[in-house]
């Protein structure tokens, strides 16, 4: 089976990439989705707050997903559900399987990776104690409550203040549960400020920063959880333990891009994001294989996922049409001074778009700081930010015409600076 573009994943990234690729002129596009329906994780995100950037209105997760599903249907883009992609070779040979077709192979001209991310499991957290019933990841609890109609418990402790954990604190409260506390290992929350306000503050749920779980009691079912403060080395401080009786512990301790298929394709991954290293066209270091959405790096807003995925779709369509996406010399993009990473990591001035969006996250909280961009040692921009937090993505926009004005440019440095003078 020969296909122009195979898209792995039918969530928000895959749908937006498919629609953009089709509009850009790609003919045969196939979405492969392992679930029973399109939409991905948005199907269980029944809270509102989606779509403010993309559609200029507030939508629930399923409503937002349906907007893109409708586009895919209208554009007559093919998709296969209940289909698991088993392998992607470096030359874009995709091996997949489902009940109807068995194991089958597709030779694609281009591949777009849009597999999303998964939650970090308990085994990766080194939490001591027994392993009784009542311990769930926050995403699993969200699916149980919102789709399966099952309440995981009535007295809840949440470890981790990522957005899913914050949203589930509110959701469990609205369903009649008592959320005792949200504990966070880091000295700052990993979620959006608006979620801290709307999901915790509005319901009187305490957030304990620099705290972690040090013991879980109960053999058949969780009976209590002990939380302790941690020091700068993130080790528990003796004498700071607090015991909370509960029947449920939800874990919201970070998201990990689903990149097993990326590894099988021989794609280089970032040591910071665990997602592929990409150029300004969102092309990986395997020619013709692109990545977007949470498989590339974990986003805060789905609107940015859609925007990024549309870029990947247009790039894949251009690649299939024979256009070179890496003309001339690459300029490296380097994060410095508190910026942990950048997506993309390089830009090709001769072939890039007129405007190139570079996204990054901070490694700490900065107040009254500046986001600065340097072309080699020349400062190009210096923008004051009232607050920069790890839970919210930052971005800078590079202009092609300014890049072309510097033919000898070696590096673009993106820095967080805490004063006028320097980093």
pLDDT of residue 125: 60
Angle at 289 between CA 271 and CA 30, to 5 degrees: 130
- Mean pLDDT of all residues in the chain? 94
Residue 256 has pLDDT above 70, yes or no: yes
List pLDDT tens digits, range 360-401. Answer: 999 999 999 999 999 999 999 999 999 999 989 999 999 999
Furthest CA-CA distance within the chain: 68
What average pLDDT does this structure show over 157-172? 95
Q: How far is CA 180 from CA 142, 187, 211, 228, 235, in A?
A: 18, 19, 14, 15, 23
Distance CA 15, CA 12 (A): 5
Residue 270 has pLDDT above 50, yes or no: yes
List pLDDT tens digits, range 334-359. Answer: 999 899 999 999 999 999 999 999 99
List pLDDT tens digits, range 221-233. Answer: 999 999 999 999 9
pLDDT of residue 337: 86
Distance CA 2, CA 366 (A): 50
For helices 12-23 and 61-74, what crossing angle results, to 10°? 30
Specify whether the CB–CB gap between 326 and 283 falls below 8 A.
yes
pLDDT of residue 421: 45
Give me 48's structure tokens: 């509102």
pLDDT of residue 422: 45
Beta bridge partners of 384: 370
List pLDDT tens digits, range 312-334. Answer: 999 999 999 999 999 999 999 99
Give DSSP secondary structure letters for 142-178.
HHIIIII-----SEEEEE--SHHHHHHHHHHHHTT-E
> Helix or strand or coil: residue 32?
strand
Distance CA 116, CA 159 (A): 22
Q: What pTM value is reported for the model? A: 0.93
List pLDDT tens digits, range 284-304. Answer: 999 999 999 999 999 999 999
Residue 42 has pLDDT above 50, yes or no: yes
Specify whether the CB–CB gap between 190 and 213 falls below 8 A.
no
pLDDT of residue 120: 80
Distance CA 103, CA 85 (A): 10
Listed in sequence order, the DSSP H helices in 27-162 are: 61-74, 138-143
Strand pairing category for 248-251 and 255-257: unpaired
């Amino acid at each position: 089976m020969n296909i122009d573009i195979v898209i792995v994943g039918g969530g928000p990234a895959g749908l937006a990439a498919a629609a953009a690729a089709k509009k850009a002129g790609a003919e045969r596009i196939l979405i492969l989705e392992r679930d029973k329906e399109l939409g991905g994780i948005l199907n269980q995100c029944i809270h509102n707050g989606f779509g403010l950037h993309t559609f200029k209105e507030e939508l629930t997760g399923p409503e937002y997903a349906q907007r893109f599903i409708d586009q895919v249907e209208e554009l007559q883009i093919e998709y296969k559900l209940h289909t698991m992609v088993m392998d992607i070779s470096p030359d874009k040979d995709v091996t997949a399987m489902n009940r109807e077709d068995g194991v089958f192979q597709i030779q694609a001209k281009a591949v777009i990776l849009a597999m999303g991310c998964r939650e970090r499991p308990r085994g990766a957290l080194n939490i001591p104690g027994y392993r009784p019933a009542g311990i769930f990841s926050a995403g699993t609890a969200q699916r149980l409550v919102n789709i399966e109609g099952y309440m995981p418990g009535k007295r809840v402790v949440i470890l981790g203040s990522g957005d899913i954990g914050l949203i589930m604190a509110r959701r469990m409260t609205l369903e009649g549960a008592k959320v005792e506390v949200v504990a966070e290992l880091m000295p700052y929350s990993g979620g959006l400020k608006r979620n801290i306000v709307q999901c915790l503050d509005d319901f009187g749920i305490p957030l304990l920063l620099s705290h972690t779980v040090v013991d879980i009691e109960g053999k058949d079912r969780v009976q209590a959880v002990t939380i302790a403060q941690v020091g700068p080395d993130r080790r528990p401080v003796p004498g700071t333990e607090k015991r909370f009786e509960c029947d449920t512990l939800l874990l919201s301790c970070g998201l990990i891009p689903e990149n097993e298929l990326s590894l099988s394709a021989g794609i280089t991954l970032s040591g910071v994001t665990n997602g592929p290293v990409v150029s300004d066209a969102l092309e990986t270091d395997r020619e013709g294989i692109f990545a977007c959405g949470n498989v590339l790096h974990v986003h805060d807003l789905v609107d940015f996922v859609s925007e990024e995925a549309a870029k990947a779709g247009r790039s894949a369509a251009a690649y299939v049409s024979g256009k070179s996406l890496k003309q001339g010399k690459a300029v490296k993009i380097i994060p410095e001074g508190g910026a942990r990473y950048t997506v993309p990591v390089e830009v090709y001035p001769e072939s890039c778009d007129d405007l190139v969006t570079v996204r990054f996250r901070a490694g700490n909280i900065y107040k009254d700081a500046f986001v600065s961009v340097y072309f080699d040692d020349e400062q190009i921009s210096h923008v004051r930010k009232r607050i920069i937090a790890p839970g919210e993505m930052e971005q800078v926009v590079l202009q092609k015409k300014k890049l072309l004005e510097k033919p000898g440019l070696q590096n673009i440095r993106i820095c967080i600076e805490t004063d006028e003078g320097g980093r």
